[in-house]
């Protein structure tokens, strides 16, 4: 039986985004505050995912052995280091979050049956690498506060209460929504980036946070005048809002995850939307 197990590790390190072939002004324009000398640091959280058959002891691998391999090959070398100088790979390609994930995979792959390397630079930014050449995934997290009422405009009050329960109460209720936007693309062989992070955050701010934050979704967002603003419909709408602007800045939207509360969340994968659009019949609604 195949099983995926995950091992957590951590290290603290500093880095600087700076390309010597660019002028100081060009580096500042491209990397902003991340270009400042002598650099800045993070407490990195690393998750290594492994896949294999369960053995007679009920394990994929002995996690004590996994811990020692990760320590030997990664964390003992990176902890309390200046990443730009510690590994040769970071001299060619800057140690961005996404490139750190890629290089850690490269370092661990000879010893472990990897399926994913995920690294958090901070709670709002993480990257994933799954072994596909230079392709990586970058996730940014943010939030907005909004109210909504779950009630279909063509149904009676009684019918809406039967479907949505107390969420159909006429004055609505609110949430502190947590939003995770994941993009994918190829890591630039010099900058280490799959997308300009400042530009990505600005797209999310312009298309989602600014228009959504502190609103009553049913009344303030025209789309939800006729569409019930469930978490699923909100996530789908955000996905469709972000796809083109993210493509324009050089990446591809991979997934939108909306956490409505600690108990409820949903995810929309763009690949599913693309598949749905290919399989549309004349009687089906267009989602993309």
| Residue 140 near residue 124, CB atoms below 8 Å | yes
Which residue among 24, 214, 225, 274 is the active-site one? Answer: 214
Rounded average pLDDT over 96-113? 98
Query: How far apart are alpha carbons 89 and 185 in whole angstroms?
Result: 19
Cα–Cα distances in angstroms (integers) from residue 285 to residues 169, 273, 277, in the given order:
29, 12, 9
Q: Which of 6, 88, 87, 100 is nearest to 44 (CA)?
A: 100
Q: What is the pLDDT of residue 216?
A: 98
Q: Are strands 114-122 and 40-53 parallel, antiparallel or unpaired?
A: antiparallel
pLDDT in tens, 124-134: 999 999 999 99
Q: pTM for the whole thing?
A: 0.92
> Residue 268's CB: how many other CB atoms inside 10 A?
20
Mark whether 106 and 182 lie in a shared domain.
no
Which residue among 34, 175, 260, 270 is the active-site one? Answer: 260
* CA angle (179, 184, 190) in 5-degree steps: 120
pLDDT in tens, 255-288: 999 999 999 999 999 987 776 654 543 333 333 2
152 is annotated as an active-site residue: no
Mark whether 147 and 276 lie in a shared domain.
yes
Half-sphere exposure of 262 (CA within 13 A, CB side): 0
Q: Where residue 213 sits, what CATH number does that domain have? A: 3.30.479.10
How many domains in the chain?
2
Domain that holds residue 203: 132-288
173 is annotated as an active-site residue: no
42 is annotated as an active-site residue: no
Which residue among 167, 178, 232, 266 is the active-site one? Answer: 167
pLDDT in tens, 4-58: 999 999 999 999 999 999 999 999 999 999 999 999 999 999 999 999 999 888 9
Mark whether 107 and 188 lie in a shared domain.
no
């Amino acid at each position: 039986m195949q099983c995926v197990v995950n091992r957590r590790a951590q290290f603290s390190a500093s880095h600087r985004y700076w390309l010597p072939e660019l002028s100081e002004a060009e580096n500042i324009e491209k990397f902003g505050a991340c270009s400042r000398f002598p650099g800045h640091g993070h407490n990195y959280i690393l998750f290594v995912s492994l896949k294999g058959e369960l053995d007679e002891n009920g394990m994929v691998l002995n996690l004590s052995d996994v811990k020692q391999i990760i320590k030997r090959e990664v964390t003992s070398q990176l902890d309390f280091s200046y990443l730009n100088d510690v590994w040769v790979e970071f001299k060619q390609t800057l140690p961005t979050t996404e490139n750190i994930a890629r290089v850690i995979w490269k370092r661990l792959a000879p010893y472990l049956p990897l399926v994913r390397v995920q690294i958090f630079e901070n709670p709002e930014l993480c990257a994933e690498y799954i072994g596909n050449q230079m392709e990586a995934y970058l996730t940014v997290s943010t939030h907005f506060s909004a109210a909504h009422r779950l009630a279909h405009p063509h149904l009676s009050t009684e019918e809406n209460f039967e479907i949505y329960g107390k969420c159909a109460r006429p004055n609505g209720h609110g949430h502190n929504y947590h939003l995770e936007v994941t993009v994918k693309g190829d890591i630039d062989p010099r900058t280490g980036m799959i997308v300009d992070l400042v530009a990505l955050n600005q797209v999310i701010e312009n298309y989602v946070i600014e228009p959504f934050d502190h609103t009553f979704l049913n009344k303030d967002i025209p789309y939800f005048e006729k569409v019930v603003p469930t978490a699923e419909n909100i996530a789908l709408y955000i996905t469709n809002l972000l796809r083109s602007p993210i493509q324009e800045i050089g990446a591809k939207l991979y997934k939108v995850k909306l956490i409505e509360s600690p108990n409820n969340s949903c995810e929309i994968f763009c690949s599913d939307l693309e598949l749905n659009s290919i399989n549309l019949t004349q009687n089906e609604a267009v989602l993309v």
